[in-house]
Amino acid sequence: MSSTLRFQIVGEAFSKKAVEVPARKERPSEFFAKYVFNRQKMQKYLPADVYKKMCDVVEGEAMLDMATADAVAAGMKKWAMELGATHCTHWFQPLTEGTAEKHDGFVEHDGKGGMIEEFTGKQLVQQEPDASSFPSGGIRSTFEARGYSAWDPASPVFVFGDTLMIPTIFISYTGEALDYKAPLKKSLKAVDKAATKVARYFYPDVKKVVSNLGWEQEYFLVDEGLYAARPDLLMTGRTLLGHDSAKNQQMDDHYFGSIPMRVAAFMKDLEVEALELGIPCKTRHNEVAPNQFELAPIYEETNLAVDHNMLIMSLMKKVARKHGFRLLLHEKPFAGINGSGKHCNWSLSTNTGILLHGPGKTPLDNLRFVTFIVESLMAVYRHNGLLKASIISATNVHRLGAAEAPPAIVSSFLGKEISNLLEHLEKGIDSPFPFGGEGSAEGTPSPFERVGEKPTLSLDIPQIPSLTQDNTDRNRTSPFAFTGNRFEFRAVGSQQNCAAAMIVLNTAMAEALTDFAMRVDALIAEGLEPVKAILRIVREDIRTCKPIRFDGNGYSEAWKQEAANRGLDVETSAPIILDQYLAPSTVEMFSRMNVLTKAELEARNEIKLDTYIKKIQIEARIFGDLCMNHIIPTSTRYQTQLIKNVAGIKNLFPAEEAERLNRTNLSLIAQMGEHNAFIIENVERLIEARRVANRIKDGRQRAIAYHDNVAPLIEKIRYHVDHLELIVDDELWPLPKYREMLFIH
Ligand code: ADP
Ligand code: MG
């Protein structure tokens, strides 16, 4: 691209007006879930008995039989065709990031030479996409390439464009999970079982516990013309070169600032489309970096929340294009400014409406609260390395530990009040509680009394002041922070499927609660009162999981050392972090909780390593090309201009004066020469490093070679390229600069 073209694109981007979004007459409550086959639609489009059966199926209380499936499919087809759908697809979440789909038309031969629209129960329930091109980590060799996708009735079908989308799990011929949804559902079942048992110590009427997830999706917008002029953005999702803009986020003027008009129009459009798809969007605002924004819905049951996040990621890309933008979900599209994450707010609640991670009214509620907080900490403590492995990727590594995101050490922030409470409990129940509150056990009926066991013990757990986000200290450096009635896992990357982290978190919680209940039951069997038994085990666990608690500055060097001393996982190399998928504690947990087998874990590890390698391989290639056919020629051209200038001055002036006048240009010519030489030499080394790495047979070793020898070279070379950008005539520079990409609306 010539720089004239660059100026033209920049000019066009500046002068674009906001796309008109027609105002809606209906209120959100009227168009919410318009395109979702939810209960209301089921009731309308299904015969009464089928509707009733489906409700049980959705609740997980009945199995789906073929006759019901056929009846449901008929109702769905009618509804979908009224909305203009012509195709249907099973929609699943393979182990690559993103979703996959294969569309089939509703058409069938009618046997008389014509066509009819058809959609049967069988099509609804199961498909066999030829899945040989999805990663399977060696589980499924190509000769048995078939994978099965099977409908997940817990997540309602919806119409997207002209297609009826059916959320499904995706498994191999031999039954192993090839996706995120299958193990996620198993982990949710495991945590339901374990948490229900524990919740019933406190509330005997609890029948079910669900896991909640509220994600906060961050993203960048870039004008599409500028995006198209950056091959690195186009191919890798991030800028591989580009000097800092003189102004970026140092003024803190973007965060919560007023939303630019073109962006506001986009957000409005997106929100309406999301609401129509049943995604309960609630918050939108600018983020810290220029051109960075965030979108958050109201939290939902985790399986549905994950589906909604996957859906919104594709929806937002689509809507952005209508508005002349490209939407970037990469965790670090621009160096030197904040990257994008996806905070995952997580909690458990009962079918009776109790938020298990939230403080309650009675001392017993609060013992329940403490139990669930402490067991969450136990889960994270035992599997902190694995939790980190669940979110590590070639792209998220650029964000972790940089100034905007938690470091690559998982620890948990509780805030002063909860920390004091745990210390109080740890010391023993007889010591006075450090902060006031009316809650003493006296006079408060305990559920244990209700079930006929008289407590002889006064529960010294005071009222816990109701904690809102406002009075919990907000520690942005903590990866797993308690924020009032939930934990917020902040290390998740913006483009990741939250399920990877949610599978680990919920399974680890299931394991912790199972172990908790086993120990409590053993004490009860020995004759100890339930409350005493619970307190004893809680106290034991408060001590055990202490190393995971950290309220200090996660960015400090001292913390790295301290965390290592505490035995937390401080590994920073992504391929080695991924070993955690195969750690004995991981394999044991997943098989005990019946979520993933060893073979499935091996497959996941292999796929993650492979993805890691490919991402860096692509970056290295694009970067090498950009250096050699964009940067070096431009730099050489400018250098030649300067050389001509120097020669001209030499001709015009007496030698001594010419020397003085030429001094600065000569220095620039030399600097450019040095940068050019460094770049050319090291691009060759980069190619060689790739070649050497590619020859390594073992996937893990190959990934390590990419991590140790390829990735760092890109950064080293970039330093020189970015310096050239400061020297070379702006007129000649071929690629849109940071200041042009980041401040245009
Ligand atoms: P922040 O101040 O962290 O940006 P928000 O108010 O934007 O917080 O909320 C973040 C997300 O947390 C939202 O999706 C919200 O619905 C969700 N959330 C709130 N309470 C809970 C909870 N108890 N469990 C899970 N998610 C929750
Ligand atoms: Mg948040």
Domain spans of the chain?
32-179, 190-454+468-596, 611-741
Q: Which residue's alpha carbon is nearest to atom 1 within ligand 1? A: 216
Query: Does residue 172's CB lie within 6 angstroms of at least one atom of ligand 1?
Result: no
The answer to whether the CB of 405 falls within 8 A of the CB of 341 is yes
* pLDDT-derived band at 141, boundaries 50, 70, 90: low
Q: Which two tokens stand for residue 184?
A: 């996620």
CA distance 540 to 518: 14
Q: Which atom of ligand 1 is nearest to the CA of 298?
A: 16
Ligand 1 within 6 A of CB of 469:
yes
Predicted confidence at residue 417, as pLDDT, reads: 84
C-alpha–C-alpha distance, residues 532 and 458, integer Å: 10
Q: Is the pLDDT of residue 634 over 90?
A: yes
Q: Please tell me which residue, 535 or 129, carries the higher pLDDT value.
A: 535
Handedness of CA 662, 665, 667, 669 (dihedral sign): negative
Is the Cβ atom of 296 under 6 angstroms away from ligand 1? yes
Burial category of 597 from C-beta neighbours within 10 Å (exposed 0-12, middle 13-18, buried 19 and up): middle
289-324 pLDDT per residue, tens: 789 999 999 999 999 999 999 999 999 999 999 999
Ligand 1 atom 17: the closest Cα is on which residue? 214
The pLDDT of 227-243, averaged and rounded, is 97
Q: Name the 3-class secondary structure at 384.
A: helix
Q: Assign 3-state DSSP to the chain and report helix, strand, coil percentages, each to 5.
A: 50, 15, 35
Is 545 touching ligand 1 by the criterion CB < 6 Å? no
Pocket test for ligand 1, best of 215, 216, 343, 506 (most atoms within 8 A of CB): 216
Q: Which ligand is closest in space to the CA of residue 347? A: 1
Most confident residue range from 20-24, 92-96, 255-259: 92-96
> pLDDT class for 476, splitting at 50, 70, 90?
confident
Does residue 211 line the site of ligand 1, with CB under 6 A? no
Residue 249: the pLDDT is: 67
Ligand nearest to the Cα of 283, by number: 1
SS3 string, 460-476, reads: CCCCCCCCCCCCCCCCC
Nearest atom (ligand 1) to Cα of 469: 2
Our answer on whether the CB atom of 115 is closer than 6 Å to any ligand 1 atom is no
Ligand 1 centroid – CA 345 distance (Å): 6
Q: Of ligand 1's atoms, which has the minimum distance to the CA of residue 346? A: 25
Q: What is the pLDDT of residue 673?
A: 98
Rounded-to-integer distance, Cα 437 and Cα 480, Å: 27
Residue of 300, 339, 297, 303 lying closest to 497 (CA atoms): 303
Overall fold of domain 611-741 = Four Helix Bundle (Hemerythrin (Met), subunit A) (1.20.120)
**Ligand 1 pocket, residue 89 CB under 6 Å:** no
Query: In CATH, which of 3.30.590.10, 3.20.20.70, 1.10.287.1080, 3.40.1710.10 is domain 190-454+468-596?
Result: 3.30.590.10
Report the distance separating Cα 103 and Cα 88, nearest Å. Answer: 6
Q: What is the mean pLDDT of the chain?
A: 89
CA–chain centroid gap for 503, Å, is 12
**What are 587's strand-pairing partners?**
none
Using the CB atoms, write b or e for 617-655: b if 16+ within 10 Å.
bebbebbbebbeebbbebbeebbeebeeebeebeeeeee
Q: Which of 191, 288, 299, 492 to mutate to test the pocket of ligand 1 (most atoms within 8 A of CB)?
A: 299
Indicate whether residue 298 lines ligand 1 (CB < 6 A): yes
Task: Measure the CA–CA gap between 611 and 605, rounded to whole angstroms.
Answer: 10
Mutate to test the pocket of ligand 1, among 216, 279, 345, 469 (most ligand atoms within 8 A of CB): 345
Q: Which DSSP state fits 37?
A: -
Report which DSSP code applies to 113.
S
Which fold does the domain 32-179 belong to in CATH? Ubiquitin-like (UB roll) (3.10.20)
CA of 343 to the centre of ligand 2 (A): 6
Q: Which of 362, 365, 459, 478 is nearest to 419 (CA)?
A: 478
Which residue has a Cα nearest atom 6 of ligand 1?
A: 283
Cβ 283 under 6 angstroms from ligand 1: yes
Q: Which of 305, 294, 285 is nearest to 341 (CA)?
A: 294
Q: What is the pLDDT of residues 644-685, one digit of tens each?
A: 999 999 999 999 999 999 999 999 999 999 999 999 999 999
d(CA 553, CA 429): 31
Atom of ligand 1 nearest to the CA of 283: 7
Q: Provide the pLDDT for residue 350.
A: 98
Q: How far is the CA of 215 from the centre of ligand 2 (A)?
A: 8
* DSSP codes, 318-342: HHHHHTTEEEE--S-SSTTS---BE
- The CB of 278 under 6 Å from ligand 1? The reply is no
Q: Say whether pLDDT at 256 is over 60.
A: no
Q: Which residue has the tokens 């960075």?
A: 292
Angstrom distance (rounded) from CA 709 to CA 688:
10
Most confident range (mean pLDDT) of 128-142, 216-230, 244-258 is: 216-230
**Could you tell me if 339 and 404 are in contact, meaning their C-beta atoms sit under 8 angstroms apart?**
yes
| Cα 216 to middle of ligand 2, angstroms | 7
pTM, to two decimals: 0.93
Residue 300's SS3 state is: strand
467 within ligand 1 shell (Cβ under 6 A): no
Alpha carbon distance 404, 288 (integer Å): 9
Q: Which ligand is nearest to the CA of 357?
A: 1
Q: How confident is the model at residue 254 (pLDDT cuts 50, 70, 90)?
A: low
pLDDT in tens, 35-90: 999 999 999 999 999 999 999 998 888 888 999 999 999 999 999 999 999 999 99
CA geometry: angle 419, 422, 425, nearest 5 deg:
150
First to last CA, the chain: 23
The mean pLDDT of 148-163, rounded to a whole number, is 92
Condensed to tens digits (0 to 9), the pLDDT of residues 95-107 reads 887 888 877 788 7
Residues 6+ apart with CB under 8 A from 210: 188, 192, 301, 302, 348, 349, 351
Q: Is the pLDDT of residue 128 over 70?
A: yes
469 Cα: distance to centroid of ligand 1 (angstroms): 9
Ligand 1 atom closest to Cα of 483? 3
Burial class for 129, CB neighbours closer than 10 Å (0-12, 13-18, 19+): buried
Q: How far apart are the CA of 184 and the centre of ligand 2, in A?
A: 22
pLDDT at 442: 39
How much is the pLDDT for 247?
A: 73
Is 395 a pocket residue for ligand 1 (Cβ < 6 Å)? no
Contact 498, 492 (CB under 8 A): yes
Lowest mean pLDDT across 25-34, 347-356, 503-512, 731-740: 25-34
Structure tokens at 557: 């060097």
Give the list of residues 6+ apart from residue 657 with CB closer than 8 angstroms, or none. Answer: none
One-letter amino acid for residue 715 of the chain: E
Q: What is the mean pLDDT of residues 108-120?
A: 79
Q: Which pLDDT score is estimated for 401? A: 74
Is ligand 1 within 6 A of the CB of residue 355? yes
Predicted local distance difference test score (pLDDT) of residue 253: 60
How does residue 431 score in pLDDT terms, banded at 50, 70 and 90? very low
Ligand 1 atom closest to residue 212's alpha carbon, by position in its atom list: 25
Q: What is the pLDDT of residues 679-736, one digit of tens each?
A: 999 999 999 999 999 999 999 999 999 999 999 999 999 999 999 999 999 999 999 9
pLDDT at position 110, please? Answer: 76
Q: Which atom of ligand 1 has the smallest separation from the CA of 297?
A: 14
C-beta separation of 498 from 213 below 8 A: yes
Looking at the CA of 487, which ligand is closest?
Answer: 1
Higher pLDDT, 398 or 470: 398
